[in-house]
Amino acid sequence: MKRVYNFNAGPAALPKEVLKRAQQELLDFDATGMSVMELSHRSNEYEKVHNKAATRLKELLDIPDSYDVLFMQGGASLQFSAIPMNFLPKGKIGNYSLTGSWSEKALKEAGKLGDTHIASSTKETGYMSIPSHLELSDAPAYLHITSNNTIFGTQWRSFPSLSPDVPLIADMSSDILSRPVNIEDFSIIYAGAQKNLGPSGVTVVIIKKELLEQCPENIPTMLNYRIFAKNRSLYNTPPTFSIYMLSLVLEWVAEQGGVAAIEKYNQKKAELIYETIDQSEGFYIGHAQKDARSHMNVTFNLATEELTAAFLSEASEAGFVGLAGHRMIGGCRASIYNAVPLESCEALAEFMNSFRTKYR
């Protein structure tokens, strides 16, 4: 069996050890005589899986008891609607910092449900950077940011500090668990699992408990954070297999030394590729401004579309998968999430250097 160098943006590479473990346990999970997918979500066996996933996440991210961990569905995209439904009442304004297409989408959904305001944006300069200042509206309901911009390859290195009455909400879909963060700086963190946490199907929400009182009664049950919290994300059938995989990925992160160790490893991987770009004498052109470079998604271009096409085609022949940029902006993108090994990045750097020697 040959495994490729997987640089997919999401769903993305999973740790090989996790896949093997899932394979081993697939037919007979924990001596139940069935797969974890076949367990009732009301069984004790599943209950253990569910609780372990939440506990492991709390431990790894050092989540205080004043926060709940929820497992929801509908992807990060449904959170774009759930947040204003729960926390954007009449008379208040949802503030958004625009750093790419995902934050634009979050803003668009909120605009259907209430009043919004763009507190900052780097759109005019092609989303190459992270905003340096914010202008909040009057009566802000919250500020929403996207901590890592999967498409443009930028990442907030430090987060805005707001007055305590303005909740900071972060879409961390593409960098959760890649570096330590101070959970108490945020009121809500959410992330679709399919980049750093596991397979698609589950969306993790970390929410300050005191906010739950504000969730209105008259919104759909499946979008109400209070109901998810009250029922420990078991109001209806949760995505049991995805949560099981999430739990295995979290166990793997702990085995790697936890989030601080993962961050160091990620830095090394990112530096390797950015150095290859920087030392290429302009052959590879990085998209993000240096101080805003993402450690998760490295975006770059080559001088012409023909050269980019040749690069992607030869890379594909050499066993590299997922290097084409997002269909909206083209170019190239290497997504180097937690489970992408250093060896894949080394192989990519080597390939980039030899491609440059051949075509410069």
Answer yes or no whether residue 322 interacts with ligand PLP by CB under 6 A.
no
Closest to ligand PLP by CB, 75 vs 331, is 75
Q: 76, 246, 248, 352: which one contacts ligand PLP (CB under 6 A)?
A: 76
Q: How far is CA 111 from the centre of its chain?
A: 23
Of 225, 219, 2, 237, give the one whose Cα is nearest residue 113: 219
Q: Any contact of residue 199 with ligand PLP (CB under 6 A)?
A: no
Nearer to ligand PLP, 11 or 319 (CB): 11
CB of 224 to ligand PLP, least distance (A): 19
Q: Decide if residue 171 touches ligand PLP (CB under 6 A).
A: yes
In this structure, how many other beta carbons lie within 10 angstroms of the beta carbon of residue 167? 21
User: Which residue among 58, 156, 175, 195 is the active-site one?
Assistant: 195
Contact 8, 335 (CB under 8 A): yes
| Maximal C-alpha separation, the chain | 64
Residue 225 touching ligand PLP (CB under 6 A): no
Binding of residue 150 to ligand PLP (CB under 6 A): yes
Q: Which two tokens stand for residue 138?
A: 């009057």
Catalytic residue selected from 171, 175, 252, 269? 171
Residues shown for the chain: 360
Tell me, residue by residue from 42 to 71, as one string, x for binding to ligand PLP by CB under 6 A and - for no binding: ------------------------------
Count of residues interacting with ligand PLP (CB under 6 A): 11
Q: Is 196 in the site for ligand PLP (CB under 6 A)?
A: no
Q: Dig out the tokens for 15 from the structure.
A: 């740790």
Pairing status of strand 168-171 against strand 140-146: parallel
One of 15, 192, 325, 331 touching ligand PLP (CB under 6 A)? 192
Q: Reply yes or no on whether 102 is catalytic.
A: yes
Question: Quick one: DSSP state of residue 55?
Answer: H
Please identify, using beta-carbon distances, which residue of 219 and 296 lies nearer to ligand PLP: 296
Assigned token pair, 359: 């075509």
Residue that has been written with the tokens 């989408």 in this structure: 105
Query: Site for ligand PLP (CB under 6 A): which residue of 8, 56, 75, 299?
Result: 75
Binding of residue 167 to ligand PLP (CB under 6 A):
no
- Tell me, yes or no, if 108 is annotated catalytic: no
Compute the distance between CA of residue 195 and CA of residue 216 in angstroms, rounded to an integer: 31
Half-sphere exposure of residue 96, counting CA atoms within 13 Å on the CB side? 28
CB of 173 to ligand PLP, least distance (A): 4
Residue numbers 7-26 binding ligand PLP by CB under 6 A: 10
Find the shortest distance in angstroms from Cβ 280 to ligand PLP.
27
Q: Catalytic one among 58, 68, 102, 156?
A: 102
Q: Which is nearer to ligand PLP, 189 or 352 (CB)?
A: 189
Q: Are strands 67-72 and 93-98 parallel, antiparallel or unpaired?
A: unpaired
Kindly write out the interface string for residues 106-145 of this chain, putting x where it contacts ligand PLP by CB under 6 A and - elsewhere. Answer: ----------------------------------------
Q: Report in angstroms the alpha-carbon separations of 181 from 119, 122, 257.
A: 22, 23, 16
R_g over Cα of the chain: 21
In whole angstroms, how close is the CB of 212 to ligand PLP at the nearest point? 23
Asked if residue 229 lies in contact with residue 68, where contact means CB atoms within 8 angstroms, the answer is: yes
Told to judge if 171 belongs to the known catalytic residues of this protein, a careful annotator would answer: yes
Cis before 180? omega within 30: no
Using the rule CB under 6 A, give the single segment among 16-24, 86-94, 169-177, 214-222 that binds ligand PLP: 169-177
Q: What tokens does 242 get?
A: 């995805």
Tell which one of 86, 99, 122, 174 touches ligand PLP (CB under 6 A). Answer: 174
Q: Hey, what amino acid is at 243?
A: I
Q: How far apart are CA 12 and CA 339, in angstroms?
A: 8
Binding residues vs ligand PLP (CB under 6 A): 10, 75-77, 102, 146, 150, 171, 173-174, 192
Active site residues: 102, 171, 195
